[in-house]
Amino acid sequence: MSIQTQHERTLLLTGEPVTSLAQYRALGGLEAYEQARRMDPEDVIELLRVAGLRGRGGAGFPTALKWKGLRDAEAARKFVCCNGAEGEPGTFKDRFLLQHNPYQTLEGLAIAAHIIGAEAAFFCVKRIFEPMLPGLPRALAELQAETDVADNIEIVWGPDEYLFGEEKALCSVVEGGLPLPRVLPPYMHGLFAGAYGGPDGNPTDVNNVETLSHVPHIIAQGPGWFRSYGNADTPGTMIFTVLGDVRRPVVRELPLGLTLRSLIDDIAGGVAPDRGVKAVFPGLANAVITPDKLDSVLAFDSMRNAGSALGSGGFIVYDDSVCMVKVAERFVHFLYVESCNQCPPCKLGSRKITRWLEQLLAGDATEHDVEEMKEVATWVTNGGRCYLPTSTSLVTSSILASYPDDFQAHLDGRCQLRHDIVIPKIKDYDERLGFTLDSDYDRKQPDWSYL
Ligand SMILES: Cc1cc2nc3c(=O)[nH]c(=O)nc-3n(C[C@H](O)[C@H](O)[C@H](O)COP(=O)(O)O)c2cc1C
Ligand code: SF4
């Protein structure tokens, strides 16, 4: 890997796009894979532990801990999946990264498979991303033709559903099924282990595209180098997506540890001069971030302390002209539509909340309905196989608690705020032209058909 100067603050999006294996090799590509093969696998895991690499798919789980558990698992068959489903509204970083350099992700995936002792690895991306990622299958074909690094890697083109990115649902898709989360996590019920996980479960590792992309760089340059970026809790960089009511919507890799305010104002141009920030959401999976929390540092612990999350680094910003009842309705409606109906409290609860919010917007709800909404937000998670209804609960409860005046204004029939909210499900991004959102999404029905 090429050594960078400290003021070049990117690790994954450095320099020109990498479009050939020769170019990747000239930058030091594949040296980390060779190095990892020469090392004791335990030492590679220790390197990632010391580096403090945490998953970039949303939860920030320590990668070394995940790999250690999978490596130590006694099982005849193990697998690895790279999660490139990128279904979180307000996020475009994995596609941006794969457009820039798919080789580093493939190398990270090959290293994961080697360290864990996997017999095969699957690179999971949505079929609708195929036209914008011609470099991914090309890079894999090149690696397979010219090296043995990627011989056991296969690309799986999956469906457009939000749940495709959920790791238990992702395993179902790799097996040829629908994106329906199963009961046990992939390290217990992995790929091709039968309906109930088989005798030893075929433990399977699932890691995000960005997480795996960091691995070769950490191996080549060492944990100290990685830790010179970011902060002690969350070392390294993150590829942030910022959009909504900002003047310069953007995808940008930055060292972690800057404040959310700096990301919004300095990187994304801030909100319009006569406006203030009213609400920020790290995707649709977590609680709202209110303006008093804008000085929180962008790292997993501090965002958790602020009552929300770092998530996968995608931030949706709303200014003070926006009605938060409308935002709540759009967000919960999305989670209702995307819920898969395997766990009744999830589908029924999110439908109920969506209906009350629609009634409130139509001037047809009472204070009692708002109280019931609060109550349903406490049980929508019951018996859920996955985290999706926790998102429904967090989004609903946090908006209700933080913006009571917006709810009161609707109960009184006097709301004058903006209602032109669309779900920022990103279809494409161009550095000059900005984001294109999926305008078809509004036609999607709760049974996943399109009107
Ligand atoms: C509803 C739902 C959707 C998700 N979508 C994605 C996704 O698109 N991409 C992703 O990497 N992780 C997604 N996740 C998180 C994955 O389940 C998993 O935690 C992640 O891929 C682990 O990778 P990491 O340890 O490298 O972060 C989703 C989780 C849920 C509950
Ligand atoms: S909790 Fe909801 S989205 Fe998750 S598996 Fe159950 S019904 Fe499907």
**Along the 451 residues of the chain, how does pLDDT read in single tens digits?**
444 444 457 899 999 999 999 999 999 999 999 999 999 999 999 999 999 999 999 999 999 999 999 999 999 999 999 999 999 999 999 999 999 999 999 999 999 999 999 999 999 999 999 999 999 999 999 999 999 999 999 999 999 999 999 999 999 999 999 999 999 999 999 999 987 777 789 999 999 999 999 999 999 999 999 999 999 999 999 999 999 999 999 999 999 999 999 999 999 999 999 999 999 999 999 999 999 999 999 999 999 999 999 999 999 999 999 999 999 999 999 999 999 999 999 999 999 999 999 999 999 999 999 999 999 999 999 999 999 999 999 999 999 999 999 999 999 999 999 999 999 999 999 999 999 999 999 999 999 999 9
Please choose from 161, 184, 189, 341 the residue to mutate so as to test ligand 2's pocket, defined by most ligand atoms within 8 A of CB. 341
pLDDT tens-digit map of 42-97: 999 999 999 999 999 999 999 999 999 999 999 999 999 999 999 999 999 999 99
Distance CA 70, CA 72 (A): 5
Cross-strand partners of 157: 125
Give the CA radius of gyration of the chain.
22
CA of 208 relative to ligand 1 center, distance in Å: 7
Q: What are phi and psi of 298, to 5 degrees?
A: -80, 95
CB-defined site of ligand 1, < 6 Å: 55-59, 61, 83, 85-88, 162-163, 165-167, 206-208, 211, 386-388
Between the CA of 171 and the centroid of ligand 1 the distance, in Å, is 12
Report the distance separating Cα 169 and Cα 160, nearest Å: 12
> What is the whole-number distance in angstroms between the Cα of residue 266 and the centre of ligand 1?
28
Contact 146, 21 (CB under 8 A): yes
Predicted confidence at residue 8, as pLDDT, reads 53
Question: Which residue puts its alpha carbon closest to atom 8 of ligand 2?
Answer: 340
343 lines ligand 2 (CB under 6 A): yes
Ordered by where they begin, the domains of the chain are 21-227 (3.40.50.11540), 237-319 (3.10.20.600), 324-443 (1.20.1440.230)
pLDDT tens digit sequence for 146-188: 999 999 999 999 999 999 999 999 999 999 999 999 999 999 9
Q: Atom 6 of ligand 1 has which residue's CA nearest to it? A: 165
Q: Report residue 388 as tokens.
A: 């999706």
Report yes or no: 67 and 225 within 8 Å, Cβ to Cβ: no
Is the shortest distance between the CB of 349 and ligand 2 below 6 Å?
A: no
User: What ligand has the least distance to the C-alpha of 337?
Assistant: 2
The residue nearest atom 6 of ligand 2, judged by CA position, is: 343
Q: Residue 421: its pLDDT value, please?
A: 96
Tell the residue number behind the tokens 């929180």, with chain if given. Answer: 296
Q: Which two tokens stand for residue 411?
A: 């109960």
Cβ atoms 287, 326 nearer than 8 A: no
Distance 55 CA to ligand 1 centre (A): 9
Using alpha carbons, select from 108, 122, 115 the residue that is nearest to residue 172. 122
What ligand is nearest to the CA atom of residue 108? 1
Spacing, Cα 94 to ligand 1 middle (Å)? 12
Are the CB atoms for 398 and 307 separated by under 8 Å? yes
- Point out the ligand nearest to the CA of residue 88: 1
CA–CA separation, 429 vs 324, rounded Å? 26
How much distance in Å is there from the Cα of 167 to the middle of ligand 1?
Answer: 6
Q: List phi, psi (to 5°) of 16.
A: -75, 155
pTM for this one? Answer: 0.96
Ligand 2: residue whose CA is nearest its atom 1? 384
Residue 5 has what pLDDT?
Answer: 41
Distances in whole angstroms, Cα of residue 306 to Cα of each of 255, 290, 291, 302: 20, 9, 11, 6
Residue 15 Cα to ligand 1 middle (Å): 28
CA of 102 to the centre of ligand 1 (A): 19
